[in-house]
Structure 1
């Protein structure tokens, strides 16, 4: 039995046990065996983590990892430009090998930044070979992943059925489920169009498929007029809504719809920085809080911004505090007496809520005996972190990639002492650069 004892760290469990200002955490094989102020353990590798903070592994609940080779290219685009230049343009030049290297390097960067679970929303996969390449990229890294099988969205050619009238390819989803069933670090789900981006017939087909196959059905909601304005009502009438439905963004939803969806147990994933940058609107965070719910968070697009999930927590917290503060000042003519959202709540968005959205809260999202040993170790002795008065606030507001010392997934170190344990990456980085240059050149966007 492999045993590792993390000794003397500040442990932020995000669980009912509470935090330990100084504590020990024992990992046995792939699971957390014990957490206590002090543990006496024989035959364990002991790591002295005095001056460090241990948190649950971060969960990136929504990212299009296939765009890694296009980092920064869409940074100045609105959502309308993104649809035209990315989906109708750049995406059409991707070969399976481009998906492999983008997904591999994007997932490795997630590990480097402290993300142990990645919801990879792959919607540039016109062939089974593209799907296989993307999944192989995930598996090559050892990250815990949920592969959300999507569908491409090119402009229809003359005589071609437009993508919004094409049902989700169930046979391909079933092939992926059969091929990868039983993998401990990989789940297969469906990234469907949903009623905002498809006809009613397609939405009904896709939602029934997800229910029958036991999948999470995740979909974008917002960004222009809905193709099926009464789609959500028709889907509910058909009994197809519930906790397995995940809405990303959600800006076109009315308060009545949002409240009803919360009552039905549906989940919501925000991408606050991307949404503010590209013109979606304000994130749903505050609206969800009014109904007793919270979002999971995703980085969304590395073609626009950083994949660092601590940044996403900070941005989402900042914009919602700002909205709340402005509303209070307009109502009362003065600065509010206290903040509406705590830093602990923001940390839960990238840990607990991400795990809940993926229906894996029984396995990940908090640090507790019996759960998977997915965790992050941060150096709290670094210049930008000292002094630490409130460990949660230091993690959310002070910490960055520079402080991510070690990352563990299912009991295996993926990063240790500041170094990503992925071998020599120079060849892969060259492949990533060549892929990005080839794709941009094909679309006439190369500098």
Structure 2
């Protein structure tokens, strides 16, 4: 790479954006506040690379926050979108592609019997909880500290990701205590905390919602047997188990985390991953639960853009390709093992050499992972919060200067794609090793 490392154009655009957009960005994680830098304004992405307005090229480990499993701008998805837009961008009416997409999702996801398309992961999780409440006739639900399920009011309680630094409950101004009073929080990987909440709220809990792999407090895999115990306690108490697979769906396996771990939830939520990065989401699960949704049942949910033909075309192209090419999962998992395993080896050598800034923990599963700037093993929200945010910022800026585009926040995940190759992994490990003194 021959980057100039100039950021003059990005800096100018950011200053202009701040005059018209709160904080200069349309999503807080783009602001680079957590890494004390200026956001890069992007003009193009292709394969494993992304390019900014100053002409810099980066190896991309964000992938639009996860959905680009095939890499950026994959031709099969791009061509599907180009074909459909000639007929119109939005109809607000039923299309055949919605059926094709629904059948594809139900075929790939082990627990899915019916599915409803929406427009984002936030809308999917909000709608799933409402449906679970309607189905059970109960009001309360359990979520886990550090798991982020979108920005609907009741879910902004110890919600992880960009909110970790804020603390408190609820985590956002404008969320009333009344909105959050039925939100119960348990500790990730701590089944005793879940049992205690069920005991204290007997007969009142409608649902348990969880990221089966925590990916918004950094990547935190579930402890052995933890998800299965959640399945059992929900069965005993008549509660709906919801897997938020906005990050893990179709990424850890064709059927997501539930296929990988062999645990079937009652409901599952998805985000942009089912649309190849387009603005789309979905929620679904058992037929008897989904038949509660209007127009069949009394749980109301609607949206003009739900099942948008452009998003459906993109999603069908990506999911069809993934279902027909299981070798893609072998590739991205192998590359994940090489990258994150390489990080661990470099850090171990640096620790043996007495380099103090190598006090890091690396968590990963398959093609996603995180480097935490803490020596503490990260297994939940509390241990994730021991990470040194300033140290991560130093690391982020150094890697960005080396042409490596990581998430501009300690508590976000890294994502690999099928477009990455050993070339990109080797270059990343070289830059990583150089930062830690090799």
TM-score for both structures, normalised by structure 2: 0.29
Higher strand fraction (1 or 2): 1
TM-score for both structures, normalised by structure 1: 0.29
